[in-house]
Structure 1
Amino acid sequence: MSLAQETRKRRTFAIISHPDAGKTTLTEKLLLFSGAIHIAGSVKARKASRHATSDWMEIEKQRGISVASSVMQMLYRDHVINLLDTPGHKDFSEDTYRVLTAVDSALMVIDAANGVEAQTKRLIEVCRQRDTPIITFVNKMDREGRDPISLLDEIEAELGMPCVPMTWPVGQGKAFGGIVNLRQRNMRLFAAGADKRSDDDEIVPLERRDELHARFGHDWELAEGNMELLAEAAPAFDLEAFLAAKQTPVFFGSAVNNFGVQEVLDALADLAPSPRPRLSTRKDGGTVEIAPEREGFSGVVFKVQANMDPSHRDRIAFLRVCSGKYTPGMKLKVQRSGKELRPTSVVTFLSQRREAVEEAYAGDIIGFTTHGGVQLGDTITEGESLQYTGLPFFAPELFQTVELANPMKSKQLQAGLMQLGEEGAIQVFRPEVGGSMLLGAVGQLQFEVVQHRLKAEYGVDIRLMPCRFVGARWVTCDDEAAMRKFTAEAASKLALDAADTLAYMMTSPYDLRLTQERHPKVVFHPLREHSGLALQTS
């Protein structure tokens, strides 16, 4: 099969939502319906021995939340589907933003009772900036929730694009009767049960509307009236508009009951885009579009995860294949450093279960063991000089200093913080002029997770202490003399991050404004790419 044919079979998407909308549950059920797993873990029953397949970290099992993105691959109807389950909690939004750079579409999960919530709005904005197509799934229809028409209005307003219902609910909460497939003109009748499959459901053609009316009464009349209204008011589904992120198909269901999941899985296979061209910078500063079917392997590292297998203390680099074909034994090159890379143990994932890769094509997510030398955002090729763009690092807003409970563990602490910093779990800053290591985070929960992981994975007990800094800005300057003057004057507030990029640590917004006025030739960046190239200035 040609590169183009293999590429067209790929579907790579992320599941995004606010916490508790049912994202991880839906991930489980998509794996179940594709045949990738045979028993779904119960996300709620934390005392049971089973946990969600995508939640593999010990702290995730204890708290019942996702704190790291997970990668899973499955085969469905001759398609290779790469699914990335992202953390819903806002404190881990950086991980989610980086994952969204590695996918071609997104599956947005909405809680029927709560509508579009705060974290979902932030993720929608990232998708909108990248013109990422979005499929919408309204979950928990078996619970009391909002009116479906008002939900559609809210989704349209937040997305800034029309909604096109592909299924429609009949009743909700205790009166939830099922969903009408608007394209196939039939109704799938609801039956509760977490272990049932869609082929167990009763399906009634809409020609038998009298039977449906007799069975569901007022709820059927209301649904029928809404469907007639939508047929006149809502636009028809337009594949080109969806792929251009100008329209979202909407599905309804109950993931915990395996209901409505089949329609979503079919939509991912039938509608979601195959891998698209990606932008790379050239040596002259311009950009070039790299087609996925282009000869010559290339990919970008969008995630580094330490200790997925605690017994081996391993570090896995997750790479999105952007072009060409990967085969075992390839000689590769890390473009940032120019160093040769011969990755061993290259695998695909079903959460922490791994399978050796025989071949991988554009759109696939592969992982390989790294012992250093690979960072988030690195472009890896067979030799061609490329640098894929767009992997963001945001300036942290919360800071704490690290104190060791046992000073004899300083080496373990250095190793742990270096690895956790490189994987993006936390931002680690080393002061230029002595002092304790600084941890920078977007949210408080990041500190707790890092403290837990240092103890569980590295055997290091730490205390986190208050810090005088309230923000950071990465600094660049084209004038060497001006940069020397700045670094001499601001030495006590300068630190290097995990990528050895210089940052100014500020004690207040006023402090930053004053420093900018004193050093007008220095540029202060609130956002950087992995290479130190700024995406945005303040």
Structure 2
Amino acid sequence: MTEVESHTPADTRVAAEAERRRTFAVISHPDAGKSTLTEALALHARAITEAGAIHGKAGRRSTVSDWMEMEKARGISITSTALQFPYRDCVINLLDTPGHADFSEDTYRVLTAVDAAVMLIDAAKGLEPQTLKLFQVCKQRGIPIITVVNKWDRPGRHALELMDEIHERIGLRTTPLTWPVGIAGDFKGVMDRRKGHFIRFTRTAGGATIAPEEHISPDQALDAAGVDWENAVEESELLSADGSDFDRDTFVTGETSPVLFTSAALNFGVNQLLDVLVELAPSPGSIVDVDGEPRPVDAPFSAFVFKVQAGMDSSHRDRIAYARVCSGTFERGDVLTHAATGKPFVTKYAQSVFGQQRSTLDSAWPGDVIGLSNAAALRPGDTLFADKPVRFPPIPSFSPEHFAVARGTDPSKHKQFRRGVEQLDQEGVVQVLRSDKRGDQAPVFAAVGPMQFEVAAHRMSSEMGAPITLESLPYQVARIVDPADADFVDRQFSAEVLTRSDGVMLALFSTQWRMESFQRDNPDVILRDLIAARS
């Protein structure tokens, strides 16, 4: 029997549904326009009828993907968000991520659950520190990158200069699919480099609705755009001569990155990005398990939990576990196995998540992101499966650089305090460290950046009803230490050993110099690195 003949109709259906999925993250430096682009993509796919206003405008709506009160107040993304919607013959699973470096760990978790990434670059600022880091994370994970140069409606740098910078600084060859007609700040439209025609955009009031676009043939484009068209044609020919035409094979392997030019706030160029995602981005494929074996999409059901989030709806005190379907078919009500504990997990309350909005989900396929309610037992990095056991690699924790003792301000709220700390720990908002010396009522919060402390304090007060104070500790460096050496390290000057909730013991040092000095003096004590939060 041939391989094709051995497939059952169910296997064929799973493969066909997986082929229709496009699961990707939108990532960038803060203020590059991620949430605005996310909203624009949903608008162009007709998933919403009107885009939310850019953050910070009094009396106007925030974007669909930014729903936390702190996000609305600050105008930045603090937590990642999932949006699912149909476009053409495909199902889009879009994950909006925080851009701020303090929330790098949340972005990293999302990148374990996607098949491609849309990297947004500000036309005026080019490659910024967080952008560079995220490029490297994608490269390490083998995630194909589509580069989007945003804010072309504002003054910025020359397009060729931006392409050179990307190639020189990160070694990624750019292969533009569209090219701007008009300099940054005078965005008339784009040249479709594959078809050769001019796509002219028309502004709408406030960019709240889809911008009309007109497709003009090359022989009429000169009359329509004049010298700007001539410049675009000349620069496109230079790109071709330099070998910068799109090649799918090198894109999928992460050697090249197709580039598009947009103004997300005006909805210019967004439709082209959606088409590129459908036509060029990879669909879900086999995912390697913890033993290095690939789990094909038509294998029995499996899913990978990459995020746990509570507080999405003040009227429901539940928590949502976001899981990426890796293989097989999901049906609501299925009894799955939780790989970490071997216990059954009932999926009666499965949901489709669109930002903060939820709806009942009956079925899902490889590449889909599902929301599992009342998932108290699930943690980021957990695996769920049916029939054939599997376990996917866990998500490593980042190395924290900021530490603070958390104390409840109201003794009568000690139960709420304990439950709140446990919930923040389970979600990965902060890492929670403890020691017998400090006691259970004075846990230490460990974070990549100080803004995580603000989120933790805000949620402890507003969601858990247990206000806290945070007292900073004089530590900057954390290393994993063997339990046999813990007492010795804990007695050292400017050092302390605390135990993380997963049982890992961390040695905290006041400075990098102090840690290196300790290692020189005590070469027999092994200190192991966590994942660096910043490159």
- TM-score w.r.t. length of structure 1: 0.91
String of CA shifts for 1:364-399, please: whole Å, max 9, x gaps: 111112352211111111153322115221120111
Maintained 8 Å contact 1:143/1:172:
no
Q: Which moved more, 1:273-282 or 1:257-266?
A: 273-282
Task: Give the counterpart letter for 1:197 in structure 2.
Answer: I
**1:352 and 2:356 matched:** yes
Select between 336-345 and 490-499 the one with higher mean Cα deviation: 490-499
Q: What SS is found at the alignment partner of 1:97?
A: helix
Selected match of 2:464 from 451, 458, 469: 458
Letter paired with 1:261: V
Determine the C-alpha separation between the residues in 2 that align with 1:434 and 1:311. 35
Choose 435-444 or 378-387, whichever is displaced more. Answer: 378-387
Cα-to-partner distance string for 1:239-282 (whole Å, 9 max, x where unaligned): 11111111111111211111100000000000000012211124
The letter of the residue matching 2:208 is D
Of stretches 500-509 and 308-317 in structure 1, the one that deviates more from structure 2 is 500-509
| Candidates 347, 361, 365, aligned match of 1:361 | 365
Residue 384 of structure 1 corresponds to: 388
Equivalent in the alignment of 1:531: none
Q: Tell me, in whole angstroms, the C-alpha distance in 2 between the residues paired with 1:341 and 1:521.
A: 44
* CA contact 1:46–1:64 (8 Å) conserved in 2: no
User: In structure 1, which of residues 226, 235, 252 is the aligned counterpart of residue 235 of structure 2?
Assistant: 226
Contact kept? 1:305, 1:315, Cα under 8 Å: yes
The reply on whether 1:172 has 2:203 as its aligned counterpart is no
Q: Indicate the SS of the match to 1:527.
A: coil
Asked if the contact 2:56–2:73 (Cα under 8 Å) also holds between the matched residues in 1, the reply is no
Counterpart CA distance in 2 for 1:509 and 1:119 is: 22
Query: Which has the higher mean CA deviation after the structures are superposed, 92-101 or 486-495?
Result: 486-495
User: Shift of the alpha carbon at 1:218?
Assistant: 3.3
Superposed structure 1 runs of 4+ greater than 6 Å apart: none
Report Cα offsets for 1:479-516 as digits up to 9, x if no partner: xxxx44x2443457332223333322333335534655
Residue 329 (1) aligns with residue 333 (2): yes
What displacement does 1:124 show? 0.3
Q: Which amino acid aligns with 1:21?
A: A
Choose which of 417, 420, 426 in structure 2 pairs with 1:422: 426
**Which of 391, 394, 399 matches 2:398?**
394
Q: Distance in 2 between matches of 1:267 and 1:206?
A: 21
Matched, 1:448 2:454: yes
Match of 2:509 among 506, 510, 516: 506
Residue range with higher mean Cα deviation, 451-460 or 116-125? 451-460
**Superposed, which structure 2 residues align to 1:273-352 within 5 Å?**
273-282=282-291, 287-294=292-299, 296-352=300-356
After superposition, what is the alpha-carbon deviation per residue over 1:155-198, rounded to whole angstroms, capped at 9, x for unaligned?
Answer: 22234121111111111344322111111221112322213425
User: Residue 238 in 1 paired to residue 244 in 2?
Assistant: no
| Structure 2: distance between partners of 1:143 and 1:470 | 39
User: Distance in 1 between the 2:400 and 2:527 partners?
Assistant: 14
Q: 1:211 to 1:361 in 2, by over 3 A?
A: same
Aligned-residue offset at 1:71? 0.4
Question: Partner letter of residue 527 of structure 1?
Answer: L
Match of 1:181 in 2: 192
Post-superposition offset of 1:520:
5.7
Amino acid at match of 1:376: P
Q: Distance in 2 between matches of 1:410 and 1:307?
A: 20
Which 5+ residue runs of structure 2 have no aligned equivalent?
Answer: 1-11
What residue number does 2:488 align with?
A: 489
Q: Which amino acid aligns with 1:397?
A: E
Structure 2 letter corresponding to 1:460? A
Task: Kindly state the Cα deviation for residue 522 of structure 1 after the two structures are TM-superposed.
Answer: 5.6
Greater Cα offset, 486-495 or 447-456: 486-495
Q: CA RMSD in A?
A: 2.1
Distance (whole Å) between structure 1 residues aligned to residue 214 and residue 56 of structure 2: 29
Q: Matches of 1:519 and 1:333 in 2, distance apart?
A: 45
Counterpart residue number, 1:195:
208
Letter of the 1:188 counterpart: I
SS at match of 2:179: strand
2:445 to 418, 439, 446: 439
Instruction: Answer yes or no: is the 8 Å Cα contact 1:15–1:107 preserved in 2.
Output: yes
CA gap of 1:383–1:434, structure 2 versus 1, over 3 A, is farther
The amino acid of 2:118's aligned partner reads L
Give the counterpart of 1:475 among 481, 495, 498: 481
**Judging changes above 3 Å, is the alpha-carbon distance between structure 1 residues 387 and 249 closer, same or farther for their aligned structure 2 residues?**
same
- Pairwise CA distance, 1:55: 0.2
- Structure 1 residues 422, 263: CA separation in 2 closer, same or farther (over 3 Å shift)? same
What is the match of residue 136 of structure 1?
147
Which residue of the other structure, out of 218, 222, 229, is the alignment partner of 1:206? 218
**Cα shift readout 1:301-336 (whole Å, capped 9, x = no counterpart):** 110111111222111111111111111221111111
Identical columns (%): 41
Q: Which runs of 5+ in 1 are unaligned?
A: 477-482, 529-534
Q: Secondary structure at the match of 2:414?
A: helix
Secondary structure of 1:99's counterpart equals helix
CA distance in 2, matches of 1:115, 1:86: 19
Match of 2:8 in 1: none
TM-score, normalising length: structure 2: 0.91
* SS in structure 2 of the partner of residue 354 of structure 1: strand
CA contact (8 A) 1:24 1:85 kept: yes
Post-superposition Cα deviations, 1:441-488, rounded to whole Å, max 9, x if no partner, equal 111111111111111111222221121332222334xxxxxx44x244
Number of positions where the alignment pairs a residue of Structure 1 with one of Structure 2: 514
Conservation of the 8 A alpha-carbon contact between 1:432 and 1:496: no
Opposite residue 376 of structure 2, the aligned amino acid is G
- Native 8 Å contact 1:433 1:491 kept in 2: no
